[in-house]
Amino acid sequence: MLIAANWKMHGDRAFLTAYFEGAAALCWPEAQTHLVFPPATLLERAAEAGTAVGMVAGAQAIHPARDGAHTGCLSAEQVAEAGARWALLGHSERRAQGETDLDVAAQLEAAARAGLRGLVCVGEGLAVREEGEAEAYVLGQLAAVLALPAPALDALGAIAYEPIWAIGTGRTATPELAQAMHRALRERLEAVGLGGLPLLYGGSVKPDNAKALLSQPDIDGVLVGGASLDITAFNAIARAANE
């Protein structure tokens, strides 16, 4: 079970200190991996503080290139040196800034180069869902990644299905809707020998809906945005997985 916190553009040093102090005071289920994706300025500190409480730090985004004239960007090597072990790739908030499926695939190649695990996000917008095209759209996003040759594909650590209409809106996919998409993703991954890859759901996950989502057979974890900023709520979501 993989339980991941995406802080997005939230948090400062004081927040980070309080967060990990809070984490240390709480009980965390065993047999789970807890990931935290802080803003880049806090990555090094989060990697250090996370080690003490069994949380693994990751970068929210990476550039495909190793270095170069890419003002404001960070390479996989740079975030790895800062302590990242994972990288979020293709979050919808990044795709909305212009990242394409091919960019996401190139980022996974970069993650592999730097020894990072990639957590690739996929998900459809409301219009696509209403047109009945959600599954084809999401599988299309995945196809660009699955087309990579083996060394890059080995860095694929998990997929997060995050319907855009459910991110930060308070509107969660029903457990049945999420399960149906996860089943489709699982079948596609099984077809290429990756059926064991963890499939996370993301989109307004909260302590009160986590149990129903995590009890679905093909939901292996969650990627949590807003609710992950409250360590008590994030811990409650992690514990819901064991109920």
The residues carrying an active-site annotation are 91, 162
Q: Which stretch binds ligand PEP (CB under 6 A): 138-146, 162-170, 186-194, 212-220?
A: 162-170
- Residues β-bridged to residue 56: 35
Distance between CA atoms of residues 112 and 115, nearest Å: 5
Stretches 52-60, 74-82, 183-191, 217-225: which one binds ligand PEP (CB under 6 A)?
217-225
Distance in angstroms (rounded) separating the CA atoms of residues 220 and 241: 9
Cβ closer to ligand PEP: 50 or 202? 202
Considering only 142, 226, 233, 238, the residue that binds ligand PEP (CB under 6 A) is 226
Considering the rule CB under 6 A, would residue 202 count as an interface residue with ligand PEP?
A: yes
Nearest to 128 by CA among 140, 143, 142: 140
If one asks whether residue 162 binds ligand PEP (CB under 6 A), the answer comes out as: yes
Task: Among 61, 104, 114, 224, indicate the residue that binds ligand PEP (CB under 6 A).
Answer: 224
Residue 204 interacting with ligand PEP (CB under 6 A): yes
Residues 6+ apart with CB under 8 A from 75: 62, 63, 65, 66, 67, 110, 114
Q: Rounded to an integer, what distance in angstroms lies between the CA atom of residue 106 and that of residue 86?
A: 15
Q: How far is the CB of 23 from ligand PEP (least distance, A)?
A: 18
Q: Which residue has the tokens 């650590």?
A: 157
Q: Are 225 and 6 in contact (CB under 8 A)?
A: yes
**In the bound complex, what is the minimum distance in angstroms from residue 9's beta carbon to ligand PEP?**
11
Q: CB of 57: closest distance to ligand PEP in angstroms?
A: 16
Least distance to ligand PEP, CB of residue 169, Å = 7
Q: Is residue 35 at the binding interface for ligand PEP, with CB under 6 A as the rule?
A: no
From the list 21-29, 109-117, 130-138, 202-210, the region that binds ligand PEP by CB under 6 A is: 202-210
Nearest approach, Cβ of residue 38 and ligand PEP (Å): 13
Is 61:87 a contact under the CB 8 Å cutoff? yes
Q: Which two tokens stand for residue 24?
A: 């240390």
CA angle, 80 as apex, 76 and 84 as ends, to 5°? Answer: 110
Under a CB-based contact definition with an 8 Å cutoff, are residues 109 and 148 in contact?
yes
Taking CB under 6 A as the binding criterion, the range among 70-78, 150-158, 196-204, 230-238 that sits at the site for ligand PEP is: 196-204
Closest CA to 20 of 1, 4, 36: 36
What residues line the site for ligand PEP (CB under 6 A)? Answer: 6, 8, 162, 167-168, 202-205, 223-227
